[in-house]
Amino acid sequence: MAPLTIQQATKSFGEVQVLHGIDISIDDGEFVVLVGPSGCGKSTLLRLIAGLEDISTGSILIDGRDISRSHPKDRDIAMVFQSYALYPHMTVAENMGFSLRMRGATMDEQHRKVHEAAGILDLEPLLDRYPRQLSGGQRQRVAMGRAIVRDPKVFLFDEPLSNLDAKLRVQMRAEIRSLHKSLETTIVYVTHDQIEAMTMADKIVVMRGGYVEQIGSPMAVYDAPANVFVAGFIGSPA
Ligand code: ADP
Ligand code: MG
């Protein structure tokens, strides 16, 4: 786990600026939820943090170290996406071990980390199955397993539950919360679902049009929205 600081981060695609002077401080082990309407820049911000897009100006620090120009592999960050494509021809264990193998881990180390993560996620009975033999929720857990095995300092989630049905979504929310507790990890979690934000977050960041509108605890944002936009957004049905 690690503190994560985003300082005056901007991002432009060609002439179009999609992120404007983003300042966010995230404490060690904090669960931060980014919310805001579609197109406001949530995914782009996560991709900057992960290094999947280059930052235009500003910086991103983990544990005080500026990682904003480091290679994604050197950032100690793992990202879980909405479309968590698993490798269809690999078993659950192989899917989970793959990134370790690519990083040159020994077979022993791969085995140990995969089993450790499988224990946390209740995936042990499924390690020899193939993705097509899994339910949607189980696949989502394998996607999280792939991130956990790398033991990252920071986890990024981009709307990980939006492809799941309502019942499973409620269950997975609880699982991700308990994962956060057991790993004591720092999490930045993107959703457009206000209920998800209110129930999961230590801290909520409300974005609009590439700007941060408000940062606060769920209660603070709920009780004292900073402006009409935040009030309307938080108050609207998911
Ligand atoms: P959100 O995740 O909040 O829905 P995004 O971060 O995906 O929003 O997108 C923010 C804005 O940046 C949108 O206007 C989107 O069209 C634009 N954008 C995202 N990625 C690119 C890209 N690779 N090239 C050009 N524009 C992009
Ligand atoms: Mg997005």
Expressed in angstroms, the distance from the first to the final Cα of the chain is 31
Q: What confidence tier does 204 reach under pLDDT thresholds 50, 70, 90? A: very high
Q: What's this model's pTM, rounded to 2 decimal places?
A: 0.90
Q: What residue owns the CA closest to ligand 1's atom 12?
A: 18
Distances (CA, A) of 185 to 1, 20, 39, 144, 212: 5, 27, 28, 13, 24
Six token digits for residue 20:
């404007």
Asked if residues 49 and 61 have their Cβ atoms less than 8 Å apart, the reply is no
Kindly tell me if the per-residue pLDDT of 193 is higher than 80: yes
Which ligand ends up closest to the CA of 162? 2
CB 18 near ligand 1, within 6 Å: yes
Which pLDDT tens digit goes with each residue over 63-86?
999 999 999 888 989 988 776 689
Six token digits for residue 220:
């603070």
Six token digits for residue 90:
């690999």
Asked if residues 116 and 150 have their Cβ atoms less than 8 Å apart, the reply is no
Give this complex's ipTM: 0.98
pLDDT at 24: 97
Kindly tell me if the per-residue pLDDT of 119 is higher than 60: yes
